[in-house]
């Protein structure tokens, strides 16, 4: 590695998006009692090519041992550090409907560096109720307690999402995960990631149809070939 400690490294977005997958695979290896892994095996577990994995890891320094592989614990720590997961991040879920309930009850956040700390809604009927051990609060209350580095999850209807995003950014939130199927306008410096299930299904539908059309083509070509053969004799 030619990287001085403490120096800012610019890691490609594509690599950053894969680091969580590597981290998950590494945790699974730890749980299985494996403490050294080759790039080939780890790549297999993460569903990528080994050469790509090595290039990704090279961006955070050279923590592998040639002829041996990577120390699972060491690499886990390095990736976690790079992702900023030494400490838990506080999460606020906004919109406690069907989806908000499921998210509040989800145990997968706590094991991966996040603590759902606030549940927020607008409906006076919902505010004050207890969900998964947390009392639902309103925006005014959140504005008073929200600290730096809070991550907001928007699970309101799309009609309310922009308004919610505006309020969150006003109180200093710079990271938003949006489940509402709509485009959010946010100020410079605020990062939005979206999860859109219907969009995912529509992409699947496109390929499903394409596969079906290709089958049709194959059938047509088969018929055509048969006709040619018939005409030829």
Ligand X SMILES: NC(=O)c1ccc[n+]([C@@H]2O[C@H](COP(=O)([O-])OP(=O)(O)OC[C@H]3O[C@@H](n4cnc5c(N)ncnc54)[C@H](O)[C@@H]3O)[C@@H](O)[C@H]2O)c1
Residues at the binding site are 95-100
The CA distance from 216 to 230, in Å, is 21
The reply to whether 119 sits near a copy of itself by the rule CB under 8 A is: no
Q: In the Cβ-directed half-sphere of 115, how many Cα atoms lie within 13 Å?
A: 10
Residues 127-156 that bind DNA (CB under 7 A): none
Query: Where do we find the tokens 């990528």?
Result: 48
Q: Which of 44, 58, 167, 175 binds DNA (CB under 7 A)?
A: 58
Among a copy of itself, ligand X, DNA, none, partner that 74 touches (CB below 5 to 8 angstroms by kind):
none
Size of the site for DNA (CB under 7 A): 27
Question: Which own/partner pairs from 12-16 qualify as long-range (CB within 8 Å, at least 24 positions apart)?
Answer: 12/59, 15/55, 15/56, 15/59, 16/83
Query: Please, which residue, 61 or 181, has the CB nearer to ligand X?
Result: 181
Query: Please, which residue, 18 or 117, has the CB nearer to DNA?
Result: 18
Among a copy of itself, DNA, ligand X, none, partner that 30 touches (CB below 5 to 8 angstroms by kind):
none
The reply to whether 167 sits near DNA by the rule CB under 7 A is: no
The reply to whether 12 sits near DNA by the rule CB under 7 A is: yes
Shortest separation between residue 165's beta carbon and ligand X, angstroms: 10
Residues 192-231 that bind a copy of itself (CB under 8 A): 193, 195-214, 217
Chain residues that interact with a copy of itself, rule: CB under 8 A: 8, 16-17, 19-21, 23-25, 45-47, 82-85, 89, 91, 98-99, 101-103, 105-106, 108-109, 112-114, 148-149, 151, 174-177, 181-183, 189, 191, 193, 195-214, 217
């Amino acid at each position: 590695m030619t990287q001085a400690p403490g120096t800012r490294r610019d890691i490609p977005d594509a690599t950053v998006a894969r680091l969580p997958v590597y981290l998950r695979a590494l945790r699974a290896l730890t749980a299985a009692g494996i403490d050294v892994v080759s790039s080939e095996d780890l790549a297999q577990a993460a569903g990528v090519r080994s050469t790509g994995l090595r290039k990704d890891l090279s961006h955070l320094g050279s923590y592998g041992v040639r002829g041996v592989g990577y120390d699972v614990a060491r690499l886990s720590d390095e990736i976690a550090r790079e992702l900023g997961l030494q400490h838990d991040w506080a999460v606020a879920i906004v919109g406690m409907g069907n989806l908000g309930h499921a998210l509040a009850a989800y145990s997968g956040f706590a094991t991966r560096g996040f603590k759902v700390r606030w549940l927020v809604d607008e409906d006076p009927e919902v505010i004050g109720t207890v969900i998964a051990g947390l009392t639902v609060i309103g925006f005014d209350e959140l504005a008073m307690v929200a600290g730096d580095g809070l991550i907001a999850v928007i699970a309101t209807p799309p009609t309310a999402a922009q308004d919610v995003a505006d309020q969150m950014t006003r109180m200093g939130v710079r990271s938003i995960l949006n489940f509402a199927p709509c485009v959010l306008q946010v100020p410079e410096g605020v990062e939005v990631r979206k999860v859109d299930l219907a969009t995912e299904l529509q992409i699947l539908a496109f390929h499903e149809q394409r596969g079906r059309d290709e089958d049709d083509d194959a059938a047509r070509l088969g018929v055509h070939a048969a006709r040619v053969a018939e005409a030829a004799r």
